[in-house]
Amino acid sequence: MRQALALCLMLGPAAFAAAAFAADDGHHHHDHNMSMDATGMVMNDNRTRLPRDCAEISQDVSLTVYAGVEFAADYPGTVFGLSEHIYRAPPCSRITVRFVNKDQIRHQWMIHGLPRYLYDAGMFHLEAAGGHEQTGTFIVPSDHRTYLVHCDMAQHMEKGMKAQLKVGMGDGDLWAIPGVSGDFVRDSYRSTD
């Protein structure tokens, strides 16, 4: 632990994190289905295991999502952005996301609220190092629901990297989605618009 702290102080936190990330080239974590290399990470990739309430895959959906500062320009008060802020898919669909990072810093595309018996911590997670891309797949359950999508890097979500996935008809809009719903000050996490 002392050696890691000394290396972090010597290199600086960003260089230390990059070195640690690069050192894990091609490492796979089978307990939560994670693969990682110097270009990024895919966590909870699932192409075949169906949610309990789905008899079969209803449709294959492909999304290409771009991340970067250029996508924040249309939304005052934001710094980072996603190329789209609302995605749609039918219930029981298999969704493949190609996440392209156009910035030179790390960004993530995370979705929460998936079944925990299929996805560790109930999430699917892509992370792309600056200038790289990652692709992964997940399968959604049969309910009509709106899922939170965001970047979990410090302050990235608060500065504009937030979206929603509506499965089926969804169950409303989430708050503070750029171009979709109002700001962060809400009594509830759901929009009342």
Kindly state whether residue 172 falls inside one of the protein's structural domains: no
Mean pLDDT on 18-22:
43
Tell whether 182 is covered by a domain: no
In a domain, 36, yes or no: yes
Q: Is the pLDDT of residue 22 over 70?
A: no
Mean pLDDT, residues 78-102 = 95
H, E, C per residue of the chain? CHHHHHHHHHHCHHHHHHHHHHHCCCEEECCCCEEEECCEEEECCCCCCCCCCCCCCCCEEEEEEEEEHHHHCCCCCCCCEECCCEEEECCCCEEEEEEEECCCCCEEEEECCCCCCCCHHHCEEEEECCCCEEEEEEECCCCCEEEEEECCCCCCCCCCCEEEEEECCCCCCECCCCCCCCCCCCCCCECCC
On whether residue 178 sits in a domain, the answer given is no
> How many structural domains does the chain have?
1
**How confident is residue 91, by pLDDT bands cut at 50, 70 and 90?**
very high
User: Of the ranges 17-21, 54-58, 101-105, 184-188, which one carries the lowest mean pLDDT score?
Assistant: 17-21
Q: Which domain holds residue 70?
A: 28-167
- Whether 19 maps to a domain, the answer reads no
84 assigned to some structural domain: yes
The pLDDT of residue 183 is 65
Mean pLDDT of 110-131: 95
**Pick the residue with more confidence: 42 or 1?**
42
Q: What is the mean pLDDT of residues 42-56?
A: 97
Between 30 and 53, name the one with better pLDDT: 53
In a domain, 53, yes or no: yes
Q: Is residue 193 part of a domain?
A: no
Q: Which of 26-30, 108-112, 162-166 has the lowest mean pLDDT?
A: 26-30
Task: Give the per-residue pLDDT at 31.
Answer: 52
Output the pLDDT for position 32: 62
**Any idea what the CATH number is for the domain that residue 39 is in?**
2.60.40.420
Count CA atoms within 13 Å of residue 79 on its CB side. 11
**88 vs 10: CA distance, rounded Å:** 46
Structure confidence by residue, pLDDT tens digits, 128-181? 999 999 999 999 999 999 999 998 887 887 887 899 999 999 999 988 888 888
